[in-house]
Structure 1
Amino acid sequence: MNLGATIIKSRRSVRTFTDKPISEEIIKETLECGRLAPTAMNLQPWLLGVITDRDLLKKVADITDHGKFIADAAACFVVCGDKKAKYYLEDCCAATMNMITCLQGFGVGTCWVAGDKKEYGADICKHLEIPGEYSLVSLIPAGYPKEVEVPKKKPGKEIFFTNRWKPEES
C-alpha cells in the first residue's frame, strides 16, 4: 500500500481531543495543502483560515448545531468559498479534504463539520469578519485524539462498479 492510501485508510472522525496544542509548522503546512487543492479553471475561490483562540473556538462551537466539540479542539480550520464562483463548493471541498488528509499524516485528528447551506454559516462568517461574498463551506476541528471510534463502512461489493452499475444478486 502506498503512503497516501495508508493515510486515507487510517483517517477517522475525531470528536474528543487531548490538551496538546498543534504546532505552528503543522498549521502552516495544513493551510498550504488546502491552498494547493485543485480548482475549476484554477480560480482558487476560497479563504482558508484557522482559529486557535479558546474564546473564539467556544463561540463558534456554540453557534453550530452539531459541532459543540469544536470548543475542545486545539484548532479549527475554516474554509470559505466565493459565492460568485460556479464551482466554489466542489473546490472548497477539495481543499477541505487536502487539509484533513494533511492533518491525519501528522497524527492530528479531525472531523468535518458542515457549513454550506447551514443557517449558522453567515453568523460564523460575521464573527470571523469574513467578507460578505464568501460562504462558510466547512469547519475542521483538529487536535490530538483522546479516542478514536471505528465506524462500520459498507463493503465494496455493495457500492463499487465498473462501466455500468449492476447490483449483485443475493
Structure 2
Amino acid sequence: MNLGATIIKSRRSVRSYTDKPISDEIIKETLECGRLAPTAMNLQPWLIGVVTDRDLLKQIADLTDHGKFIADSAACFVTCGDKGAKYYLEDCCAATMNMITCLQAYGVGSCWVAGDKKEYGPKICELLEIPPPYVLTSLIAAGYPKEIQVPKKKPGKEIFFTNRWKPEEE
C-alpha cells in the first residue's frame, strides 16, 4: 500500500481533542493543500481560512447544530464558496478533503462539519466577515485526538461495481 492510501485509510472523524496547539507550519501547509485542490475550469471559487481564537471557536460551535465540539478544537478551517460559480460546492468539497487529508498526514485529527444549506451558514459568514457572494460550505474542526472511534463501514461487496451495478448473489 502506498503512503497516500495509508493516510486516507487511517482517517477517522475526531470529535474529542487534547489541549495541544497545532503548529503554524501545519496550519500553513493545510491551507496550501486546500488552495491546490482541483476546481472546475480552474475558477478557484473560494475563500479558505482558519480560526484559532478560543472565543471565535466557541461562537462558531454555538451557532452549529452538530459541531459543538468545535469549541474544544485547536483550530477550525473554514471554506466558503462563491455561490455564483456553477460548481462551487464540488470545488469547495475537494478543498475540504485535501485539508482533511493533509491534517491526517500530520497526525492531526479532524471532523468535517457541514456548512452549505445550513441555517447557521450566513451567521458564521457574518461573524467571520466573509463578503457576499461567498457562502459557508464547510467547517473542519481540527486538533490532536484525545480518542479515536472506528465506525463500521459497509463491505466493498455491497457497494463496488465495474461497468454496471449488479448485486452479488447470496
- Scaled to the shorter chain, the TM-score interval is over 0.9
Aligned to 1:119: 119
Aligned to 2:166: 166
Aligned to 1:10: 10
Post-superposition Cα deviations, 1:114-166, rounded to whole Å, max 9, x if no partner, equal: 00000000000000000020010000000000000000000000000000000
- In structure 2, the residue corresponding to 1:126 is in which secondary structure? helix
In structure 2, give the amino acid aligned to 1:3: L
The RMSD of aligned alpha carbons is 0.3
Answering whether residue 15 of structure 2 is matched by residue 30 of structure 1, we say no
In structure 1, give the amino acid aligned to 2:132: G
Aligned to 1:106: 106
Aligned to 1:155: 155
In structure 1, give the amino acid aligned to 2:109: G
Q: Which runs of 4+ in 1 moved over 6 A?
A: none
In structure 1, give the amino acid aligned to 2:158: E
In structure 1, give the amino acid aligned to 2:35: R
Partners of 1:112 and 1:167 in 2: how far apart?
Answer: 31
Q: What is the TM-score normalised by the length of structure 2?
A: 1.00
Structure 2: 5+ residue runs without aligned partners? none
In structure 1, give the amino acid aligned to 2:38: P
In structure 1, give the amino acid aligned to 2:7: I
Structure 1: 5+ residue runs without aligned partners? none
Identity of aligned residues (%): 85
Aligned to 1:78: 78
In structure 2, give the amino acid aligned to 1:96: T
Answering whether residue 29 of structure 2 is matched by residue 20 of structure 1, we say no
In structure 1, give the amino acid aligned to 2:108: V
- In structure 1, the residue corresponding to 2:142 is in which secondary structure? strand
Partners of 1:162 and 1:132 in 2: how far apart?
Answer: 42
Shift of 1:60: 0.2
Shift of 1:85: 0.2
Post-superposition Cα deviations, 1:69-88, rounded to whole Å, max 9, x if no partner, equal: 00000000000000000000
- In structure 1, the residue corresponding to 2:47 is in which secondary structure? strand
Partners of 2:165 and 2:18 in 1: how far apart?
Answer: 44
In structure 1, give the amino acid aligned to 2:153: K
Partners of 1:116 and 1:109 in 2: how far apart?
Answer: 22
Aligned to 2:66: 66
Aligned to 1:51: 51
Shift of 1:169: 1.5
Q: In the comparison of the two structures, how many residue pairs are matched? A: 170
Post-superposition Cα deviations, 1:3-59, rounded to whole Å, max 9, x if no partner, equal: 000000000000000000000000000000000000000000000000000000000
